[in-house]
A and B are shown apart, each in its own frame.
Chain A
Amino acid sequence: MLDQTPAPLVSVRDLKMHFPIYAGLFRRRVGEVKAVDGVSFDVMEGETLGLVGESGCGKSTCGRAVLRLYDITSGEIEIDGREIGAVPQPELRTMRPTMQMVFQDPQASLNPRMTVEAIIKEPLDEHTKLSEAEKREKVAELMDAVGLNRKFAKRYPHAFSGGQRQRIGIARALALNPKFIVCDEPIAALDVSIQAQVVNLLEDLQEKFGLTYLFISHDLSMVRHIATRVAVMYLGKVVELSPREALYAEPLHPYTKALLSAVPEPDPALATTKERIILQGDVPSPSNPPKGCNFCTRCPAVMDICKQDEPKTHEVQPGRYVACHLYNDTAEQTAGTEV
């Protein structure tokens, strides 16, 4: 049992990504957008960690920061045994093949002037010493793996539908045999009937190649389907992280409760009986988050302490991490900040 416990492939500690705001004639620095503000989590080998939250809460920034597409403000990022948080960009080159990204908008992320073959082959050109023939064979294999007809290798992206373009993006991400893939809203731009096709493909590829995913989405139903564990973000912070079943059966953080209750149920009987928590107001700006708990301006359970002190993350049940003052007493004292 013990030696079956999965080890983390990715370990993120207190990650911060603040974007400076400049203004005025002299472009003076007048503040910062705290897009990601102290986030910690592990992604276990072979699992899918879902990252959910509403638009602007910092999901994409978090995903990109973990892959070091940014120079981060602070924090630690360990991937496959190597600490990369502070590594300068040129030195990251050798790590790039291990970690890849699939983007939301397959239209925007594929170069319209390149053939599908050239798009998928590009990472092979950059990072391998394969011969042209070997590369072409590899591209054909990748096209098979993602369900694209090899015959279309010489076509351009515009000749494909949205779902097929997402397959091209996935094939490209797979080219260098990565271990870890950040999928940033990979199905958000697709039609309902096409979403399931792409999700099933991602699941098949995970099993076949032993991939580990960080799956970013605002679609809570789809995350329930695909994720092993789920992290919920609000205004730059992870407010709750739990195994999927526990999270959806019994959300603990007041924001998770409200978020899940707001998801419309495709069942008229449930839709009328479901207790809905309607949050008031809007999300505050990440350049000026409230004092204390980031959720205190909208939280139905807000207390005095919430407007003063930022809640710490505690392991309140085995494997369940919550950052909320309501759970200060139930926290297992040994937990610390380990996530």
Chain B
Amino acid sequence: MPDGALPVLDVRDLKTVFQTRGGEVHAVNDVSFDLRPGELLGVVGESGSGKSVTMMSLLGLLPSPPADVRGGTVTFDGQDLLQLDPEGLRSVRGGKIGFVFQDPMTSLNPVFTVGMQIAEPLRKHMGMSKREAAVRSKELLELVGIPDADQRLQDYPHQFSGGMRQRVMIAIALACDPKVLIADEPTTALDVTIQAQILELMKDLRDKLGMAVIWITHDLGVIAGIADQVMVMYGGQVVEHAPVKELFGNPGHPYTKALLTTIPKISGSREKRLTIIEGQPPILAGAPRACPFRDRCDAAFDRCAVENPARYDVGEGHDVACFHAEGL
């Protein structure tokens, strides 16, 4: 991961609000991060913390209404994706930015063969002929470790197992040599032994192809094994950002610290009793005017209820959105 290289993707102050019958939902609040070439950024947070909406917002994938991307910039390849017209966005998506979502069955079209679905972006974005696309499709299936690629191109999605379908999705996402791959909980629905296969494949592909990857998960174990940098989200905000070893070795935010002690371990000493985080995640009804973690935080004090903490730098590439980190 080359240090100091210009980011391939630079997201600043992204803000997304949903208009619902029950009022506004402030799903993403001033989210900023950047991604360097070849870097793997892990994004963790519990469900509802804004991980998916962040990525969907920057790819222009949210229907409006109800979604309203209220602010921010997303710089990719010298242009602001939020300013692109639908046509321009479509050519970026599935082209220079590939993406993979949790459930491959909803993203693959059941009535077309897998071969047709891999060839489509190749013809659309890369201008390949039918023949060229067929050759490349086979290479791609082989790249993601699907045996008998020639044969399997003729098969329909339902003829693949869950793990194999997710490989197909990865093949489609990789079809146009993307600079950035965004993977939203791609292994959450898979069993551990199949997840291990996919994680191994991902590490391998990244080394081979050198693309930058954003990997979303709620599983800290997956993050530890695969990420270079980690961004922790809570209540629609980035609460901590750090290199992976730093995050696990020296977590700064009370939420990150609690999360690391609440999950049991598979080896080493066994905790007699699990540490719990009391209470529930916040309801994101209004623009945040306080720390989103305050109701569940052991370290909360007066200020946390009246002001939302900024992200304070606490070390090399490490920042924490908590007043206790201010001036550290």
Are A and B subunits of one complex?
A: yes
Tell me the A residues contacting B by CB distance below 8 Å.
54-55, 161, 163, 191-197, 199-200, 203, 218, 220-222, 224-225, 248, 258-272, 276, 278-279, 282
Contact across chains for B248 and A263 when beta carbons are under 8 A apart: no
> Beyond A192-B259, A193-B259, A269-B245, is A221–B265 a contact (Cβ under 8 Å)?
yes
Number of A-B pairs, beta carbon distance below 8 Å: 124
Contact across chains for B264 and A279 when beta carbons are under 8 A apart: no
> What residues on A are CB-neighbors of B20 within 8 Å?
none
Contact across chains for A193 and B220 when beta carbons are under 8 A apart: no
> Beyond A197-B276, A224-B270, A265-B225, is A192–B281 a contact (Cβ under 8 Å)?
no
Contact across chains for B224 and A163 when beta carbons are under 8 A apart: no
Contact across chains for B266 and A221 when beta carbons are under 8 A apart: yes
Nearest Cβ on chain B to A215's Cβ, whole angstroms: 13
> What residues on B are CB-neighbors of A161 within 8 Å?
280
Interchain CA distance A192-B258 in the complex, whole Å: 11
Q: Which residues 72-105 in B have Cβ within 8 Å of A in the complex? A: none
Nearest Cβ on chain B to A59's Cβ, whole angstroms: 12
Tell me the B residues contacting A by CB distance below 8 Å.
46-47, 161, 163-164, 191-197, 199-200, 218-225, 244-245, 248, 258-260, 262-267, 270-271, 273-278, 280-281, 296
Nearest Cβ on chain A to B44's Cβ, whole angstroms: 9
> What residues on A are CB-neighbors of B278 within 8 Å?
197
> What residues on B are CB-neighbors of A276 within 8 Å?
196, 200
10 A-B pairs whose Cβ atoms sit less than 8 Å apart in the complex: A54-B194, A192-B218, A193-B281, A194-B280, A225-B270, A263-B192, A263-B266, A270-B267, A278-B196, A278-B200
> What residues on A are CB-neighbors of B244 within 8 Å?
268
> Beyond A54-B192, A192-B262, A262-B195, is A268–B248 a contact (Cβ under 8 Å)?
yes
Contact across chains for B192 and A266 when beta carbons are under 8 A apart: no
> What residues on A are CB-neighbors of B191 within 8 Å?
54-55, 218
Contact across chains for B224 and A271 when beta carbons are under 8 A apart: yes
Closest partner residue, chain A, to B225 (CB atom): A271
Apart from A54-B194, A192-B218, A267-B248, what 15 extra A-B contacts exist at CB < 8 Å?
A54-B193, A191-B281, A192-B259, A192-B263, A193-B46, A193-B262, A193-B296, A200-B273, A264-B199, A265-B224, A265-B266, A265-B267, A268-B225, A271-B224, A271-B225
Interchain CA distance A267-B247 in the complex, whole Å: 10
Contact of B47 among A191, A197, A200 (CB under 8 A): A191
Contact across chains for A262 and B264 when beta carbons are under 8 A apart: no
Contact across chains for B196 and A266 when beta carbons are under 8 A apart: no
> Beyond A193-B46, A224-B264, A282-B164, is A266–B274 a contact (Cβ under 8 Å)?
no
> Beyond A196-B275, A267-B224, A271-B224, is A259–B266 a contact (Cβ under 8 Å)?
no
> Beyond A191-B281, A196-B277, is A218–B192 a contact (Cβ under 8 Å)?
yes
Nearest Cβ on chain B to A254's Cβ, whole angstroms: 12
> What residues on A are CB-neighbors of B258 within 8 Å?
193
List 7 tightest A-B contacts by C-beta distance, closest first. Answer: A264-B221, A271-B225, A225-B264, A262-B196, A54-B191, A196-B274, A191-B46
Contact across chains for A264 and B264 when beta carbons are under 8 A apart: no
Closest partner residue, chain A, to B280 (CB atom): A161
> What residues on B are CB-neighbors of A193 within 8 Å?
46, 258-259, 262, 276-277, 281, 296
Interchain CA distance A194-B200 in the complex, whole Å: 29
